[in-house]
């Protein structure tokens, strides 16, 4: 065995050269790996003792792509295209030995090999679009030659990896093997013995000829793939490049792909998506967590309350293979909650997103009961009852008496004081907030609220539980509305004001949709139910004249067919309602507010800048320890478009100076001191600083 460099080794046995990469944690194709691979393949090709070559990796996965940390920096040669060209040009058969996740450049280098074998549990794909990029090392030219342009464009624009079984059926791989390296060596030897001709993927034309003659099918597939992605650069570039795979000769297609890649990689959208990629991984790290703190194991769970959230949370546990019991007050509520869960799974089966046997298996893991003794031996309890502090304290008092020592006690409260809830027990250190987002079985975000008492073990267990449930955990401090809802409250205040001052719900929603949100604030309010906010406002003694009047008229949104919009015949399409305008006009008159035409720019600034300002306050108070945590909360909990990077990332693009000037203007206009720039934002404006440079502000405030 020859150690080519720090991460590449070459060994030859029985005529087969084995090139092995070892670059933990995911064998990213960084510069040293690329350099080592070129040296190794050249050596193997030149070695007369070598008749075939196997390309493989050590560790937990085959190459998981280019090294994302290198993007935006000057490219060090050899580039990945050059590395792949070396393997592809080999006169000796090269077999890629795939396992784990062969993603991006990892699959591209495998497509540069003559043959590919994979372990049955391997997954492979080109997810570059999720980083605001397109495959930049030949993926958009070689994959269409294997699976056809239609399938390739769908796969590349979706960016979702496929399982080995599908890859075999699609012709991406040649064989599924039990053990990647041994399987690849055996495959290579068979190629030699059977003198299988070496066909480079780049030379395979059969799958692209028909698209060249009749591009209609491709164009239809491209159109379907780009649905709902207007304004997003990377998906459109992916389509253009795959189209080139059958419109241009291979080398020209490759060059065009490179140009598209170089344009995207320096653009704001890709920088934003790469920011979110690393930020979501950073968010789970608690800066002051002592080394060695171990999370407790979660083998059994209980959810108190089987309503909208409780049902979704129970599904998360079942989806992760953890037995879970739902505790309700009456058989009727229990039956309703379990029926809703069953219905939700049935819809997924109908859509083909879930197999019937998987549904049955998950339902078998979910039990319902009125008996609180089920709590006695559970590892975690998540409370999801009505948003009333008295009721929550009563519940935690009961949990305290039943649960075994060390059970994690969590509340799904969306706004209430987690310290107060914790203090209703004799073990406040075991209490945290675990704030899921609706629908809980779908939304990825999990705000883990650390109270003044939460122990490091409790926080570590909550983070681990979040990952177990496939969520993106973000640890935040305890305050009114935590990070997400606290910022959202600023937007809701402006929404109410804009209605009074003359804006229409559909105008405001259009501005937010144009920015890239899947839904505008008024349509979102109608979906969540206007009565939720109304109950919270009444509980606090605050008013929202137009929204309160809508609720008093029973207009709770989609669930009552009317809210800020009308929903005819149970449809989910929001229709403007002149009655809302009339009501807003009447309320404005009563309050002496002069109505005016409000520009798109003003609507935009009032929808976004007050939230950014609140994010600055949240960082000042240490409720969030990183600006990037705020971005992750909004990207995964509130639909902030990932290609816009999140509130703090976006604020850095706009500039704190611009935002402060606008906020000063609106604070004067509305008389709301809460709109005046926070000290941190003012400081960034004066110093030319950026949220992105703040780093970890402090330990999470308790």
The rounded distance, in Å, linking the Cα atoms of 176 and 178 is 7
The listed partner (ligand NAD, ligand T1G, none) that binds 136, CB under 5 to 8 Å by sort, is: ligand T1G
User: Nearest 5°: phi and psi at 262?
Assistant: -65, -30
Check binding of 368 to ligand NAD (CB under 6 A).
no
Check binding of 333 to ligand NAD (CB under 6 A).
yes
Q: Which stretch binds ligand T1G (CB under 6 A): 22-30, 38-46, 227-235, 405-413?
A: 22-30
Check binding of 629 to ligand T1G (CB under 6 A).
no
Check binding of 464 to ligand T1G (CB under 6 A).
no
Check binding of 473 to ligand T1G (CB under 6 A).
no
Active site residue 394: no
The listed partner (ligand NAD, ligand T1G, none) that binds 481, CB under 5 to 8 Å by sort, is: none
Check binding of 696 to ligand T1G (CB under 6 A).
no
Within the chain, what is the greatest distance between any pair of CA atoms? 92
Q: How far is the CB of 79 from ligand T1G (least distance, A)?
A: 9
The rounded distance, in Å, linking the Cα atoms of 312 and 323 is 14
Angle (nearest 5°) at CA 109 between 253 and 222? 45
Task: Considering only residues 336 through 365, tell me which ones interact with ligand NAD, judged by CB under 6 A.
Answer: 337
In sequence order, which residues have a C-beta less than 8 Å from that of residue 361 and are 6 or more positions away? none
Identify the three-state secondary structure at position 17.
strand
386 to 93, 314, 357, 389, 586: CA distances (angstroms): 65, 17, 33, 9, 34
Q: Which stretch binds ligand T1G (CB under 6 A): 99-107, 325-333, 544-552, 606-614?
A: 99-107
Task: Considering only residues 291 through 320, tell me which ones interact with ligand NAD, judged by CB under 6 A.
Answer: 304-310
Angle (nearest 5°) at CA 311 between 307 and 312? 120
Q: Which of 131, 416, 462, 495 binds ligand T1G (CB under 6 A)?
A: 131
Tally Cβ neighbours within 10 Å of residue 64. Answer: 25
Q: Which is nearer to ligand T1G, 108 or 506 (CB)?
A: 108
- SS3 letters for 461-507? HHHHHHHHCCCEEEEEECCCCCCHHHHHHHHHHHHHHHHHHCCCHHH
Check binding of 144 to ligand T1G (CB under 6 A).
no
Task: Considering only residues 259 through 278, tell me which ones interact with ligand T1G, judged by CB under 6 A.
Answer: 278
141 to 67, 245, 261: CA distances (angstroms): 21, 5, 13
Please, which residues bridge with residue 367 across strands?
A: 325
Check binding of 253 to ligand T1G (CB under 6 A).
no
Q: Which stretch binds ligand T1G (CB under 6 A): 67-75, 173-181, 227-235, 497-505?
A: 67-75
Active site residue 108: yes
Q: How far is the CB of 606 from ligand NAD (least distance, A)?
A: 24
Q: Which of 93, 139, 149, 521 binds ligand T1G (CB under 6 A)?
A: 139
The rounded distance, in Å, linking the Cα atoms of 332 and 505 is 38
Please, which residues bridge with residue 648 across strands?
A: none
Q: Which of 32, 45, 68, 359 binds ligand T1G (CB under 6 A)?
A: 68
In sequence order, which residues have a C-beta less than 8 Å from that of residue 58 and are 6 or more positions away? 20, 21, 22, 27
Q: Which is nearer to ligand T1G, 133 or 479 (CB)?
A: 133
Identify the three-state secondary structure at position 655.
coil
Q: How far is the CB of 356 from ligand NAD (least distance, A)?
A: 27
In sequence order, which residues have a C-beta less than 8 Å from that of residue 599 and are 6 or more positions away? none
Task: Considering only residues 100 through 129, tell me which ones interact with ligand T1G, judged by CB under 6 A.
Answer: 101, 103-105, 108, 127-128
The listed partner (ligand T1G, ligand NAD, none) that binds 412, CB under 5 to 8 Å by sort, is: ligand NAD
The listed partner (ligand T1G, ligand NAD, none) that binds 131, CB under 5 to 8 Å by sort, is: ligand T1G
Check binding of 469 to ligand NAD (CB under 6 A).
no
Task: Considering only residues 80 through 119, tell me which ones interact with ligand NAD, judged by CB under 6 A.
Answer: none
Q: Is there a contact between 395 and 416 (Cβ–Cβ < 8 Å)?
A: no
Please, which residues bridge with residue 95 across strands?
A: 54, 115
121 to 22, 101, 162, 313: CA distances (angstroms): 20, 9, 10, 28
The listed partner (ligand NAD, ligand T1G, none) that binds 8, CB under 5 to 8 Å by sort, is: none
Check binding of 414 to ligand NAD (CB under 6 A).
yes
The rounded distance, in Å, linking the Cα atoms of 520 and 513 is 6
Q: Which is nearer to ligand T1G, 258 or 665 (CB)?
A: 258
User: Nearest 5°: phi and psi at 633?
Assistant: -60, -45
The listed partner (ligand NAD, ligand T1G, none) that binds 370, CB under 5 to 8 Å by sort, is: none
The rounded distance, in Å, linking the Cα atoms of 413 and 428 is 16
Catalytic residue among 9, 86, 128, 383: 128
The rounded distance, in Å, linking the Cα atoms of 366 and 206 is 50
Q: How far is the CB of 185 from ligand T1G (least distance, A)?
A: 25
Q: Total residues at the site for ligand T1G (CB under 6 A)?
A: 25
The rounded distance, in Å, linking the Cα atoms of 67 and 540 is 50
Check binding of 32 to ligand T1G (CB under 6 A).
no
Which residues contact ligand T1G by CB under 6 A?
A: 25-26, 28, 64-69, 80, 101, 103-105, 108, 127-128, 131, 133, 135-137, 139, 278, 281
Catalytic residues, which ones? Answer: 108, 128
| Residues in contact with ligand NAD by the rule CB under 6 A | 304-310, 327-329, 333, 337, 384-387, 391, 395, 412-414, 436-438, 528
């Amino acid at each position: 065995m020859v150690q080519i460099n720090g991460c590449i080794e070459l060994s030859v046995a029985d005529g087969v050269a084995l090139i092995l990469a070892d670059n933990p944690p995911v064998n990213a194709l960084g510069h040293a790996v690329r350099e080592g691979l070129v040296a190794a393949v050249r050596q193997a090709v030149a070695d007369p003792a070598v008749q075939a070559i196997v390309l493989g990796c050590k560790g937990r996965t085959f190459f998981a792509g280019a090294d994302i940390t290198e993007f935006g920096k000057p490219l060090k040669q050899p580039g990945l295209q050059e590395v792949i060209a070396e393997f592809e040009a080999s006169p000796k058969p090269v077999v890629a030995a795939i396992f784990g996740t062969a993603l991006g450049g990892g699959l591209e280098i495998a497509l540069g090999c003559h043959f590919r074998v994979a372990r049955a549990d391997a997954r492979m794909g080109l997810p570059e679009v999720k980083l605001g990029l397109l495959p930049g090392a030949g993926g958009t030219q070689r994959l269409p030659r294997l699976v056809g342009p239609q399938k390739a464009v769908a796969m590349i624009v979706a960016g979702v990896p496929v399982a080995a079984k599908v890859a075999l059926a699609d012709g991406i791989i040649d064989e599924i093997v039990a053990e990647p390296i041994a399987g690849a060596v055996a495959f290579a030897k068979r190629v030699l013995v059977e003198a299988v001709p070496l066909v480079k993927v780049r030379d395979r034309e059969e799958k692209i000829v028909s698209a060249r003659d009749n591009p209609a099918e491709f164009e239809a597939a491209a159109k379907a793939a780009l649905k709902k992605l207007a304004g997003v650069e990377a998906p459109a570039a992916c389509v253009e490049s795959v189209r080139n795979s059958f419109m241009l000769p291979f080398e020209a297609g490759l060059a065009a792909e490179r140009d598209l890649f170089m344009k995207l990689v320096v653009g704001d959208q890709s920088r934003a998506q790469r920011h979110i990629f690393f930020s979501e991984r950073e968010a789970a790290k608690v800066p002051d967590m002592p080394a060695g703190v171990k999370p407790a194991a979660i083998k059994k769970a209980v959810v108190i309350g089987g309503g909208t959230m409780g049902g979704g949370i129970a599904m998360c546990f079942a989806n992760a293979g953890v037995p879970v019991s739902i505790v309700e007050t009456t058989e009727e509520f229990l039956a309703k909650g379990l029926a809703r869960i069953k219905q939700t799974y049935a819809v997924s089966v109908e859509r083909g997103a879930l197999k019937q046997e998987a549904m049955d298996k998950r339902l078998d893991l979910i039990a319902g009961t009125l008996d609180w003794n089920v709590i006695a031996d559970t590892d975690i309890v998540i409370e999801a009852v009505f948003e009333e502090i008295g009721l929550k304290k009563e519940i935690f008092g009961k949990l305290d008496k039943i649960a075994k020592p060390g059970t994690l006690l969590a509340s799904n409260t969306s706004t209430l004081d987690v310290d107060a809830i914790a203090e209703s027990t004799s073990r406040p250190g075991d209490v945290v907030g675990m704030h899921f987002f609706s629908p809980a079985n779908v939304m990825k975000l999990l705000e883990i609220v650390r109270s003044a008492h939460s122990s490091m073990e409790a926080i570590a267990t909550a983070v681990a539980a979040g990952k177990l449930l496939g969520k993106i955990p973000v640890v935040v401090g305890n305050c009114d509305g935590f990070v997400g809802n606290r910022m959202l409250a600023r937007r809701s205040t402006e929404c109410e004001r804009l209605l009074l001052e003359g804006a229409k719900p559909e105008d405001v929603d259009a501005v937010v949709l144009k920015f890239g949100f899947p839904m505008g604030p008024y349509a979102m309010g109608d979906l969540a139910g206007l009565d939720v906010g109304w109950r919270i406002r009444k509980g606090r003694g605050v008013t929202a004249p137009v929204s309160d009047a809508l609720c008093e008229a029973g207009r709770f949104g989609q669930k009552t067919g009317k809210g800020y919009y009308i929903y005819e015949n149970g449809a989910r399409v929001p229709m403007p309602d002149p009655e809302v305008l009339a009501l807003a006009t009447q309320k404005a008159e009563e309050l002496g507010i002069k109505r005016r035409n409000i520009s798109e720019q003003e609507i935009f600034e009032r929808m976004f800048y007050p939230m950014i300002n609140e994010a600055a306050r949240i960082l000042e108070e240490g409720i969030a320890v990183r600006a990037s945590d705020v971005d992750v909360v909004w990207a995964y909990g509130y639909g902030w478009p990932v290609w816009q990077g999140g509130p703090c990332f976006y604020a850095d693009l706009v500039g704190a100076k611009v935002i402060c000037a606008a906020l000063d203007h609106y604070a004067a206009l509305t008389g709301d001191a809460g709109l005046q720039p926070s000290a941190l934002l003012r400081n960034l404006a004066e110093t030319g600083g950026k949220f992105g440079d703040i780093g970890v502000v402090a330990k999470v405030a308790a």
